[in-house]
Amino acid sequence: MKLDSKFFDRLRVKPDENRLLRESCPSCEWQGCKEPGLYPAPKGRGQEGKYHRFCLDHVRQYNKSYNYFSGLPDEDVVKHQKDDTIGHRPTWFIGVNSWSRSRGAKTSGRRNGFAHRFSTLDPFGLFGEHAASAKTPGSEPARPLRRLERKCLRQLNLEDSATKAAIKARFKELVKRLHPDRNQGDRASEDKLREVIQAYNYLRQTGLA
């Protein structure tokens, strides 16, 4: 064997995995540990964004005893948890600022002017002060009928303005008239009866009957 052979210069030994980790990662900060510190652990309250570096075993041990509120009075803990709900940002009640009140006074007349000039028809009484004028005591504004609702009313030989009582009464009348038992067992009107029942059921689902 020739120790000065040119092939010895080409030999390479693949380092073990732990050695690669130790060279590429910082060491574990646990006292006496030389393992790679692959796992971050928060340093604590007042040092947000800063982390220790531990190996797997020591980060588990650290997390078991970690307490963000360590040394903090109970009142401050409650306050901190309450502020968490708003992201620790300041909040104000609506209208407490003086500039908002003065601004509201300046613009109220303008808003009223716009409302007067560009009043919107509100048949359902949904928008503010127009709601009172759109409704009469003891009555509800009628909504436009859908195409299928109008078709079902025609199946019952009724107009668009038919009330719930009228729809129910007409349904009972047509069922009695078209039922085979009232026609000596004649089934010629079964299709019409089926249409009447389907129309009435749909009107009930939509709230018209």
Q: Which domains does the chain have, with CATH numbers?
A: 14-69 (no CATH), 147-206 (1.10.287.110)
> 62 near 52, Cβ under 8 Å?
yes
pLDDT at 106 over 60: no
80-108: average pLDDT: 65
> 178 near 137, Cβ under 8 Å?
no
Max distance between CA atoms of the chain, in angstroms, equals 120
Tell me the β-bridge partners of 54: 39
**How much is the pLDDT for 133?**
44
Confidence at 130, pLDDT banded by 50, 70, 90 = very low
Mean confidence (pLDDT) of the chain: 75
pLDDT at 203 over 50: yes
Instruction: Give the pTM.
Output: 0.34
pLDDT at 135 over 60: no
With a pLDDT cut of 70, the percent of the chain lying above it is 62
Euclidean distance between CA atoms 46 and 152, whole angstroms: 71
180-186: average pLDDT: 72
Crossing angle of helices 164-178 and 190-206, in 10° steps, is 160
Task: Locate 17 and state its tokens.
Answer: 């995995």
Euclidean distance between CA atoms 158 and 199, whole angstroms: 12
Task: Locate 25 and state its tokens.
Answer: 């990662």
pLDDT at 26 over 50: yes
Euclidean distance between CA atoms 67 and 125, whole angstroms: 56
Which of 88-92, 134-138, 192-196 reaches the highest mean pLDDT? 192-196
pLDDT at 22 over 70: no
Give ∠ CA 180-186-187 in degrees, rounded to 5: 75
85-89: average pLDDT: 76
Q: Find the range with the poorest average confidence among 32-36, 157-161, 168-172, 187-191.
A: 187-191
**How much is the pLDDT for 13?**
61
**How much is the pLDDT for 102?**
57
